[in-house]
Amino acid sequence: MLGAAGRGALAGLAWGLLARLFMRLIATTPEFTWGGTLAILGFSTLLGTGLGLVVGARRGGRSRWWRLAPVPGLVLFMSPGMTLVPGAVLVALALAVRSRAATVLLLLAALIAVVVPAVGLDGEGGEASPTGSLGLALVIVAVGLLGVGFHEWWRRWAPPTRHTPAGARSETRV
């Protein structure tokens, strides 16, 4: 389970770096601080660690209470990052449904949920800069990855299995 937590932490850190990069590319007047950057990286690593713990606990047949592990990392979205959550939730739902049509509609809705806030509907009609377009592409990738993480968090948990020690007799008699 610690291995899954470590992989989750690395994935969370990588996601935080991606998020900071797209913020830099999208911003019209970038003003970033080390404190803000470290907070984003720290909270994204915390969220990734929690998601890794959920995956490890599910695979190890542990208690469903491990689903609470990512909750502290959600502090990351108590900022302008909250605009990423609706798209990520829609991606997670798209991964969960079985209908191809529903999947396509949910992914389209997720794309709209990401692009509209990122581009803004201010009516200026100016041309997008190459860095702004790259930043928008990275936002879409980041929301997709976040949606995959949310899907892992919400996936169905298999019922716990009862293991009998080697050499022990089973209670079932034939």
* pLDDT confidence band for 172 (50 / 70 / 90): low
Structural domain includes residue 125: yes
Amino acid letter for position 95: L
Structural domain includes residue 130: yes
Q: Please give the residue range of the domain that contains residue 120.
A: 2-154
Say how many domains are in the chain: 1
Measuring CA to CA, which residue among 38, 21, 54 is closest to residue 151? 54
pLDDT in tens, 29-82: 778 889 989 999 999 999 999 999 999 999 998 999 999 999 999 998 998 888
Output the pLDDT for position 49. 97
Structural domain includes residue 91: yes
Structural domain includes residue 165: no
Output the pLDDT for position 122. 45
Output the pLDDT for position 128. 62
* pLDDT confidence band for 161 (50 / 70 / 90): low
* Averaged confidence pLDDT in the chain: 86
Question: Does residue 28 have a pLDDT over 90?
Answer: no
* H helices present in the chain, as ranges: 2-26, 34-59, 85-96, 100-119, 130-154
Say how far apart CA 46 and CA 10 lie, in whole Å.
10
Output the pLDDT for position 27. 77
Using the CB atoms, write b or e for 19-50: b if 16+ within 10 Å: bbebbebbeeeeeeeeeeeeebbbbbbbbbbb
Say how far apart CA 112 and CA 48 lie, in whole Å.
25
Measuring CA to CA, which residue among 88, 102, 98 is closest to residue 151? 88
Cα–Cα distances (Å) from 144 to 75, 88, 138, 170, in that order, read 19, 6, 10, 46
Structural domain includes residue 55: yes
Count the neighbouring beta carbons within 10 Å of the beta carbon of residue 168: 8
Structural domain includes residue 159: no
Output the pLDDT for position 135. 85
Structural domain includes residue 61: yes
- Give CA angle at 107 (97, 118), nearest 5°: 145
Structural domain includes residue 174: no
pLDDT in tens, 96-151: 999 999 999 999 999 999 888 777 644 455 566 777 788 889 999 999 999 999 99
Across the range 153-157, mean pLDDT stands at 88
- Measured in whole angstroms, the distance separating CA 10 from the mean position of its chain's CA atoms is 13
Torsion of CA 137, 134, 48, 100, to 10 degrees: 10
